[in-house]
Amino acid sequence: PHFAKVGVCCDVIQQYDGHHHLGKMWPLLLFVVSTARALGMWDASKGVFAGDKAATPRSFRLPDPLWVFGYASLVWRPEPGWEAYERRRGVCEGWCRVFAQRSTDHRGTPEAPGLVCTMLPETALLDGAPAPGEKPLGTCYLIPRDDADAVLATLDFREKGGYTRQVVSVTLDDGTKIEALVYSATTENPNFDPSLASTSPAALDEAARIIATSVGPSGPNTEYLFQLADACPDDPYLQALASRVRALLQQQQQ
């Protein structure tokens, strides 16, 4: 709710200036608008952050060198041109990967949201809910300094549907520890569904139902899940969810 209120206030400020000259107050108001956007205003009509870009916390600092940790679609479908970047497998301890983020811009629509992954600290999940396993396996990409601005702009747009920049500690496949940028849909964003952040049978069944029937601009929701599950065959949470979705699809064909 507070995301939407901030967005409305900023829009009103801009519309007001179209009819009234704010004079010396305008630079201050413009600062308020730009700051609110950086922190993450919410466009409720589209189900994404206003400005079509991910949120950036006020005190955020990029890791140097710039590693990007992909834990969902970046694992199996990196951005064009990324094949030239150094890539390493890695795990993020103390965090978990969970299908609890409704998707209105990639694997669903505002009218019929799909369901995609977020990565959260395990402590952020509901007390008593059986959480997905720790240490999600993902792919780390080392972004050359000259490409950083373009890559960040692409990722900010890609992750506009409720995701926020975070820095996490990742252990690479050779044991090296690095800091990496990750986009996490936090529990405070409006598209997060806490009832699905669990491995309980009820949560898995509901997640499977949504995934089996959702389609968005980026394609079927099933593709997103199946490609990720194939890339992470040892992840029991992903395999359990994929098994449920396949069973539902078989029932639909009968």
Active site residues: 159
Strand partners, 68: 141, 181
1-9, Cβ contacts within 8 angstroms, sequence gap of 24 or more: 1/190, 3/40, 3/41, 3/42, 3/49, 3/189, 3/190, 4/42, 4/44, 4/190, 6/36, 6/39, 6/41, 6/42, 7/36, 7/41, 7/42, 7/43, 7/44, 7/50, 9/36
Measured between alpha carbons, how far is residue 88 from residues 72, 73, 78, 182, 225 in Å?
15, 15, 13, 15, 21
Cβ atoms of residues 177 and 67 within 8 Å: no
- Show Cβ contacts of residue 153 under 8 Å, excluding neighbours closer than 6 positions: none
Measured distance CA(78)–CA(76) in Å, rounded: 6
